[in-house]
Structure 1
Amino acid sequence: MRVLIVEDDPVHAKAAARVVAPLGHEIVEAGDGEEAVRLLRSAPFDLVILDWLLPRMSGFELLYWIRRTLGASPAVLFLTSKVLDDDVVLAMEAGADDYLVKPFRVAELASRVNALLRRTRRESDAGGLVCAGDYALNALDRTVSLRGAPIELTPKEFDLTALFFNNLGKLLSRKVVSISTWGRELDPASRTLDTHIYRVRQKLALVPENGLRLSSVYTHGYRLDVVPSGRSHAAASLHRPVAQAASPASSASPASFMPAGFAYE
């Protein structure tokens, strides 16, 4: 598999290459973010090992470009001297797959590279498809469908949708959502993010009936959750034995078949 090492320090770049090359992978090196973009545009890679502090284009900016332009692949492993917890959280929530602090241990770097490439191989076999509820998101052709029917989204709306689909059940802060989608933190007074969230929620019909719910968590951010489909409950009720359905004890009003949380925003 092909691994791109983005590191402006030749000593550190060679140190990482000496660990990864014996694992049987092809190594390509880039000295800055702009060179990395050119290489990523010209040929596919399975893993990017990325320093944060790079000339011309920071590692975080490169991560944003990768996720916005290339989607969930390649995997990204930060290998950096930035050790603050806030940096680690920001990188992981913005789409990094792993984070390792310099100086690294040889065995640990080798283990993490192998784990990420195994995951990449499985996801590649699946064709970049993410299925959740009654939806299917294809990162390769940038499409979303609901029970097979395509949903028309703008490029920015798709980027936002893909971010949530790739982070199901995770609470994403407004800062992470804005940086991951727009490449910068939006002005707190701006309604841009709220407007896009509203449009995505409406266009995708993100309600429990379709198996997903996009929730706004006050002062924190947003979370996309898988929930029981209301259609599944209704279908199950139609298959109950006639005697049971006719029993006064088991009869219920139509409202009782409404899924829990139906009225949840």
Structure 2
Amino acid sequence: MKLAIFTNDSALFHLIQSCLAAEGAVCTRYGEDVELARALHREEFSAIVFDAASGMDASHPVLARRACYGDRRAPLIAVGDFCAREHVQAALNAGADDIVLMPVDPRELRLRFQLAVRRFACDSGSCGTAQTTGDELEMGSYRMSRRDGSVEIDGKPVRLTAREFAIAWVLFSQQGNYVTRRAIAATVWGSSEDIVGRTLEQHIYKLRKKLQLDGACGIVLRTMYAHGYRIEQIVERAVEPALARAAERVPETTLARATERALERTAEVAAPRPPLRPASGAANGACTTGGTIKLHTSGSEAARHAQPWSPESSDSWAFVANRAGVRRLA
């Protein structure tokens, strides 16, 4: 039997290898998540031993791939220092089938390995039963079944390819969390983001259209640079009852009076103003004679050489008058 061991700790790998050699297990070590995800795509393993120090998270490419392709899963045994009950529960929720506490006891490891392999074989059909736990997802009007790769929206089936379904399952199972392009590439293709590249974008584009992930059915697919993709459920916001009641209490007469006053102010500003006439007295040395303005005293040198001008025939005086009228109204 073939056994995949995911760890960066060489000492732990040799310990597990020596413990399971008597069981006839051929152990292969994987240090990169993409490398193991690619191996899971190509090969069948009797079991996977997962070093929890690498991070037991449901978005991990290895764990996410096992969640997508439940019919191809091998039992996963998590090895780690689970010092609290909630840590054990978190590991099981992330996809572990069994756990082994650190420091590793060789007898416990062999027993856990035998039980996990036997239980998986029984669940896969040797005992005449099918594994159904965690094979369905429901969110709003969406229903997904991993057993047959089917998707329904409001009870209507939507046809997806195997990879489109795998991407949808990864995104919907991680509702509210961003799933990186690297994780999707490793989970679905068993490859790196650089190799998948444009192909992933095309699948996301088709998935948006087929599943109407624009909010039309209550679900939207968000994209954020350097973070990845996230499924969100749209919550419709109702109008605040207090604001609605306040709007209903505003009398129509009040609105009418406000509109009337606004129109009156507009008419005041737009009404034509009478022409501005200069004062009868002299100001700043200016005086008027027969409608002609003299800006200098009659005895000055400037007055003897200045040309007289009339305010009625001068555009400059109209400009000054209009500006003065605007300042007076303001």
The one-character-per-residue Cα deviations of 1:25-62 (angstroms, maximum 9, x if unpaired) are 332221232322222122122311001223xxx45314
Aligned to 1:38: 38
Determine the structure 1 residue equivalent to 2:273: none
SS class of match (1:130):
coil
What per-residue deviation string (whole Å, max 9, x for no partner) do you get for residues 90-125 of structure 1? 221122111222112111111111111001112333
Q: Deviations over 1:137-176 (max 9, x none)?
A: 554x53479xxx9775773665689x7xxxxxxxxxxxx8
Q: Is the 8 A contact 2:49 2:79 kept in 1?
A: yes
Structure 1 match to 2:149: 142
Structure-2 residue corresponding to 1:71: 70
Show the counterpart of 1:95: 95
SS of 2:119's partner is: helix
TM-score between both structures, scaled by the size of structure 1: 0.50
Alpha-carbon distance in 1 for matches of 2:157, 2:85: 40
Q: Is the 2:19–2:109 Cα contact (8 Å) retained in structure 1?
A: yes
Between the aligned partners of 1:192 and 1:35, the Cα distance in structure 2 is: 27
CA distance in 2, matches of 1:24, 1:178: 43
Given that 1:81 and 1:101 are in contact with CA atoms closer than 8 Å, whether structure 2 keeps it comes out as: yes
1:130–1:137 CA contact under 8 A, matched in 2: no
How many pairs align? 172
2:48 aligned residue:
48
Residue 114 of structure 1 corresponds to 114
Aligned residue for 1:116, secondary structure, equals helix
Matching residue's letter, 1:105: D
CA pair 109-129 structure 1, distance change in 2 beyond 3 A: closer
Task: Report the equivalent of 2:23.
Answer: 23
User: 118-127 vs 28-37, which deviates more?
Assistant: 118-127
Instruction: Name the SS for the 1:53 alignment partner.
Output: helix
Q: 1:215-226 alignment to 2 at 5 Å?
A: none
Q: CA separation of 1:51/1:130 partners in 2, compared to 1, >3 Å: closer, same or farther?
A: same
Moved more, 20-29 or 8-17: 20-29
Taking the aligned partners of 1:100 and 1:38, their CA distance within structure 2 comes to 25
Q: Cα RMSD between the aligned structures?
A: 4.2
Q: Once the 2 structures are TM-superposed, how far is the Cα of residue 130 of structure 1 from its aligned partner?
A: 2.8
TM-score by length of 2: 0.41
Amino acid in the other structure paired with 2:41 = R
Flag the 1:152–1:180 CA change in 2: closer, same or farther, 3 A. Answer: farther
Percentage of matched positions with identical amino acids: 20
Contact 1:48 1:74 in 2 (8 A): yes
Q: Given the alignment of the two structures, is residue 130 of structure 1 paired with residue 132 of structure 2, yes or no?
A: yes
Distance 1:16 1:104 in 2: 9
Give the 3 Å change call, closer, same or farther, for CA 192–69 of structure 1 in structure 2.
Answer: closer
1:63–1:39 Cα change, 3 Å: closer
Matched residue, 1:235: none
Is the 8 Å Cα contact of residues 171 and 231 (structure 2) preserved in structure 1?
A: no
| Cα distance in structure 1, aligned partners of 2:130 and 2:175 | 21
2:64–2:170: 8 Å Cα contact kept in structure 1? no
Contiguous gaps of at least 5 residues in structure 2: 136-143, 184-221, 223-229, 235-330
Contact 2:67 2:95 (C-alpha < 8 Å) held by counterparts: no
Tell me which stretches of 4 or more aligned residues in structure 1 moved more than 3 Å.
Answer: 126-129, 136-139, 149-154, 156-161, 176-183, 191-195
- Partner secondary structure for residue 96 of structure 1: coil
Alignment map for 1:140-179 (pairs within 5 Å)? 141-143=148-150, 155=165, 158=169
Q: Secondary structure of the equivalent of 2:132? A: strand
3-state SS in 2 of match to 1:104: coil
1:83 is aligned to 83
Cα distance change, pair 192–37 in 1 and its aligned pair in 2 (3 A): closer
SS in 2 for 1:27: strand
* Partner amino acid, structure 2, of 1:142: G
